Amino acid sequence: MNVPINHDYMISEQILLLHTKIAQSLFSGEWKHGRLGLLQYAKLIKNLWNAVKMDDPYAEWFLLKSYDQIENAKEQLQNYEDVFQAQLDNLRGFQVELFRNPHPVLESLQFATPFAYMGAKLIEQFDYVNRQLFTMKRIGVIPKGNLKHIKLIQQIQKTFRIPLNWHSTELTRKDIVENNDKAEKARKLMGEIPHRILHKEIEFTFLPKPQIT
């Protein structure tokens, strides 16, 4: 007998391992007053996620923007990682092992959306590139491009701040079709919704299933 599985009742625990203090701070948001960390981002993105379930097209739009920025940040971090790894691999006569924390922080992840886990992957990438930079500095290698930590942090922050530009208006696609007060308020706050978003012309794996029709 095949019993259908309700995935909302399945449980799991993911562990994020972080070596550097700045990555650990970016996880919790403690690195600088007024800036966002992963935990804050996870709460913000959950609000968008729940609004998409209620057929808010603006929330869907900002979820897609968040995903695009995550992909952009991930690509940039991967490019840095590849360049630095090539530099380390090309040191003649050396077998380089990255410096590591003998007591890394283990963060338990139990997020409500896949976007928060994507953000966690960015923090892990950021942590790894920082280990590369630390190693290169300690052994006297100048990283190509003279990359500064602040540039990496800015990429993470740009990603985490996108949900702040969304405003909860309790709006649905029906309100936009009717062009009522809610629709006008949303336009003033967030601009004109793209046609492809409004009419659900974009297929995206990570959108939640709507709870209303």
Domain ranges of the chain: 15-198
The predicted structure's pLDDT at residue 10: 72
Binned at pLDDT 50, 70 and 90, residue 6 comes out as low
Binned at pLDDT 50, 70 and 90, residue 96 comes out as very high
**Percentage of residues of the chain with pLDDT beyond 70:** 92
Q: Which of 89, 103, 94, 56 is nearest to 207 (CA)?
A: 56
First and final CA of the chain: distance in angstroms?
31
Cα(124)–Cα(200) distance, integer angstroms? 33
* More confident position, 137 or 152: 137
What backbone torsions phi and psi does residue 16 show, to the nearest 5 degrees? -105, 125
For the chain, the average pLDDT equals 90
pTM of the model: 0.88
Least confident among 20-29, 109-118, 174-183: 20-29
Cα(198)–Cα(209) distance, integer angstroms? 16
For residues 153-180, average pLDDT: 93
The predicted structure's pLDDT at residue 4: 52
The predicted structure's pLDDT at residue 206: 87
For residues 179-208, average pLDDT: 93
Per-residue CA distances from 62 to 45, 48, 58, 139, 182 (Å): 9, 8, 6, 43, 18
Per-residue CA distances from 120 to 29, 74, 197 (Å): 13, 11, 27
